[in-house]
Amino acid sequence: MGFRIIIVGGGIAGLAAAIALRQDNREIIILEQSPISQEIGATISLQPNASKIVEGQWGLAATLKERGAMVDEAFEVYNLDGEMQMRIPLVTKDKYGAERMMYHRADLHEALKHRATSPTFPGQAAVLRTSSRVASCDCETGTVELASGEVLSADLIIGADGIKSAVRGCVLGGEVNARPTGLSAYRMMIPADELQQQSEFAKVINPRKGCTTMVIGQDRRLIMGPARNGTIYSIVALVPDESMNEDSRITSWTTKGDHEKMMKTFADFPDWAQKPLQLAKGSALGLWQLRDLDPLPTWYRGRAILIGDAAHAMLPTQGQGASQAIEDAEALGAFFHEFERTTPVNSLGAVAQVNDAVFRCRYDRATTIQLYSRQAAKPATEPGNRKVNMNPAEFMDYNCSYNGARDWCK
């Protein structure tokens, strides 16, 4: 029998792991709790190293380009007076060998899903099972039990089940919950041409340009970027929980936001900066209470290993969550590739040893970025002063000088 792998979670991390691990004679099953496997509408950016894995190594450049992938050319920060505070060019191809890319989340998710589950690519295709919620697992025997009572077993179990991971409790031998960060985020997408018609806004920011834009107020900020060849504009509006006009008893992590309450929260923003929020009226408005994890003592136990948000959920301030999940996946592929060539026996000890190598390879880097994302969420202006003091380029080198797991861990 071949090597059997169960991946819990069909998000970006789980699909990426399936792509990195698929090989002949490997049976991969992805268990996804939701009835349909899909992503929400928003722009997501991948750092050059992760985009290189996805577009180069996994060959998805043409597919993503067809769907309107864009190069993220610069990071621009404005204050509320519409004055540019800094502009950091991100054209990185020469320096890092790949570009920082922007995708519509649904497009990236679809492309990864196809690459993982379609028989047209090399290696045995992974099988994606929806409506399959994992309730518990046993890291030593390599079994998972679904909410339906069905029990499945494998040689390797990958917990890619996100911030509310069920596998995490099994790996750590007790529940570790994500902590509220004191920040919430509204998310919305609007047609770029409608925003471009608003001259007050358009004379400051061109919403079609491949660029990540931040507008920074005292404790509130907008993070914006285009998707699909500049036809749509995605906005994340960050606000401290205590300043939010929404019901603070809402305990769900993703709820629907109330447009009127959002406008009230951003009432201090000048007209031009309120425009993108105004235009979101009537369209889907998401509200996320942002949470992250403290660094975990370990990511693995026996046959089970955590990756992505399950292992190191982080704030979106560095736009690194998905990139780190993809780097985790690449590391699994690299280390388990060798495993099969040199270790024919799929014993518990042998699998645990490879999990240990993946963990050691990835832990410092992911943890540093996780902690830096938390630090970058601190207010970036002094009270009563609109000057922005932060340096998002500081960690760019760290973020982007990554040449795959094998190279990093030499």
Ligand X SMILES: *[C@@H]1O[C@H](CO)[C@@H](O)[C@H](O)[C@H]1NC(C)=O
Ligand Y SMILES: Cc1cc2nc3c(=O)[nH]c(=O)nc-3n(C[C@H](O)[C@H](O)[C@H](O)COP(=O)(O)OP(=O)(O)OC[C@H]3O[C@@H](n4cnc5c(N)ncnc54)[C@H](O)[C@@H]3O)c2cc1C
Comparing CB distances to ligand X, the nearer of 253 and 408 is: 408
The residue nearest ligand X at its CB is 398
* Partner touching 244 among ligand X, ligand Y, none, CB below 5 to 8 Å by kind: none
CB-wise, 21 or 346, nearer to ligand Y? 21
- Determine, following the binding rule CB under 6 A, whether residue 49 of this chain makes contact with ligand X: yes
Sheet with 134-138: list strands edge to edge: 134-138, 143-146, 151-153
Amino acid, single-letter form, for residue 79: N
58 is an interface residue for ligand X by CB under 6 A: no
Regarding 398 and contact with ligand X (CB under 6 A), the answer is yes
Which one of ligand Y, ligand X, none interacts with residue 44, CB within 5 to 8 A by kind?
ligand Y
Regarding 397 and contact with ligand X (CB under 6 A), the answer is: yes
Give CA–CA dist 180/18, Å, rounded.
30
One residue of 41, 138, 395, 409 binding ligand X per CB under 6 A = 395
Q: List the one residue out of 300, 362, 353 whose CA is nearest residue 329.
A: 362
Nearest distance in Å: CB 289, ligand X: 30
Q: Which residues contact 294 (CB under 8 A, 6 or more apart)?
A: 179
Please name which of 20, 344, 58 lies closest in space to residue 158, comparing C-alpha atoms. 20
What minimum distance in Å lies between the beta carbon of 234 and ligand X?
15
The amino acid that residue 375 corresponds to is Q
Which residue's CB is nearer to ligand X, number 55 or number 292? 55
Nearest-angstrom CA–CA distance, 386 and 409: 43
Q: Of these partners, ligand Y, ligand X, none, which one is at the site of residue 284 (CB under 5 to 8 Å by kind)? A: none
Q: Which residues bind ligand Y (CB under 6 A)?
A: 8-14, 31-34, 44-45, 133-134, 160-164, 166, 185, 187, 236, 288, 290, 308-310, 316, 319-323, 325
Start-to-end C-alpha separation, the chain: 32
Give me the residue label for tokens 């040449």.
403
H helical segments located in 45-166: 48-51, 61-66, 93-96, 105-117
In the complex, minimum distance from the CB of residue 69 to ligand X, in angstroms, rounded to a whole number: 8
Q: Taking CB within 5 to 8 Å according to partner kind, which of ligand Y, ligand X, none is near residue 34?
A: ligand Y
> Could you tell me the smallest distance in angstroms from the CB atom of residue 108 to ligand Y?
9
The first and second tokens of residue 107, run together, are 């497009």
How far apart (Å, rounded) are the C-alpha atoms in residues 208 and 73? 12
| Site map (CB under 6 A) of ligand X, residues 87-106, x = contact | ---------xxx--------
Question: How far is the C-alpha of 33 from the C-alpha of 25, rounded, in Å?
Answer: 26
Give the binding site for ligand X (CB under 6 A): 49, 52-53, 65-68, 96-98, 228-229, 394-395, 397-398, 400-404
